[in-house]
Amino acid sequence: MGTFCSVVKFENLQELKRLCHWGPIIALGVIAICSTMAMIDSVLWYWPLHTTGGSVNFIMLINWTVMILYNYFNAMFVGPGFVPLGWKPENSQDSVYLQYCKVCQAYKAPRSHHCRKCNRCVMKMDHHCPWINNCCGYQNHASFTLFLLLAPLGCIHAAFIFVMTMYTQLYNRLSFGWNTVKIDMSAARRDPLPIIPFGLAAFAATLFALGLALGTTIAVGMLFFIQMKIILRNKTSIESWIEEKAKDRIQYYQLDEVFVFPYDMGSRWKNFKQVFTWSGVPEGDGLDWPIREGCHQYSLTIEQLKQKADKRVRSVRYKVIEDYSGTCCPLNRGIKTFFTSPCTEEPRIRLQKGEFILATRGLRYWLYGDKILDDSVLEGMDMKASV
């Protein structure tokens, strides 16, 4: 009962506004279309309810839908958990290891970061997801990951229904010629006749739902594997980038030190249990974290302070070598660039050849940063590479 109440009990009615966003509208629309069409196709044209298999199949479809929506709304409305406004460490001396957030008027707890969309410091922030119109973090990481697992599994089941429905309904209606393939969409050859004939509209709707199901399986399935990869390492996407910059800083200055990620427990199972528990409540309070032996509680935040003080690591200058229109998913930049487009609401910057940007972090095919508008900023800066 406690878990269920966490879904339906909102902090305030303003949380319902999260549904009024293109991300949840599209996500819920895809779920509704695939689930509804799978049930209709199954009952009317593929596996009737009066059979044992048909009844089991129908119950499974409902089960997928309920579990997907449960974890989706859990991730959306329970939220990631925010650092309390005005928070500061119990030991005042520890504040020298932490960054201060002027917006929240509080110190940033270990593993927390400020989200400009939520306008709060998020505990163990991974990213702001437009599909749930909320951040993925400490409290909802498990629900979000389960949603990423269940959605492809449900879509695979639905896709099977769609394919079998079209196959059984069109098997006796296909006629092949030397150069043509004809489909007779009349229901005259069906025995016994279905309550509603499988006509052209049903065929088009089923084919459309099949495309949605297959696309969702691929896209969401890839996100699931990415999330599981960082969960088994007990990292977030932001922390992976911090670790990468730490190694870059050590290599650049040829320092005699090794950066050890403090929150990796050294065991995938222990890291897994940090997020997934039988009670559904993640371990800890989101402010204090267990660390591996030999590490400092503030090792990661100390590294962030070092990177913030190091202008070379914090921002790298890149020179633009080709024009970029600022489109969200540019097809003219290659298939890999198109499919690895960041799933974020951050605006794309229109660039022209010869301009300069300051990159604060990046992926293999994408960079995050700002365009340099003032030439005085270029003075004294090291240029890393060109893009």
Task: Please give the backbone phi and psi of residue 235, each rounded to the nearest 5 degrees, phi first.
Answer: -125, 170
Whether 76 and 199 have beta carbons less than 8 Å apart is answered as no
Residues 6+ apart with CB under 8 A from 38: 61, 157, 158, 161, 162, 209
How far is 31 from 222, CA to CA, in rounded Å?
18
Residue 283 to residue 28: CA distance in whole angstroms: 30
Q: How many whole angstroms separate alpha carbon 133 and alpha carbon 359? A: 26
For the chain, report the end-to-end CA distance as a whole number of angstroms.
Answer: 53
Q: Would residue 115 show up in a list of annotated catalytic residues for this protein?
A: no
CA–CA separation, 122 and 79 (whole Å): 9
Degrees, nearest 5: CA angle 148-152-156: 170
From the list 121, 129, 136, 155, the catalytic residue is: 129
Query: Would you state the torsion angle of the CA atoms of residues 125, 317, 331, 153, taken in this order, to the nearest 10 degrees?
Result: -20
In terms of Cα–Cα distance, which of 133, 102, 128 is closest to 116?
A: 128
DSSP 74: I
Q: Where are the alpha helices (DSSP H) in 278-326?
A: 299-309, 311-314
In whole angstroms, give the CA distance from residue 338 to residue 365: 9
The count of residues in the chain is: 387
Report, in this order, helix, strand and coil percent for the chain, each rounded to 5: 50, 10, 40
Catalytically active residues are 129
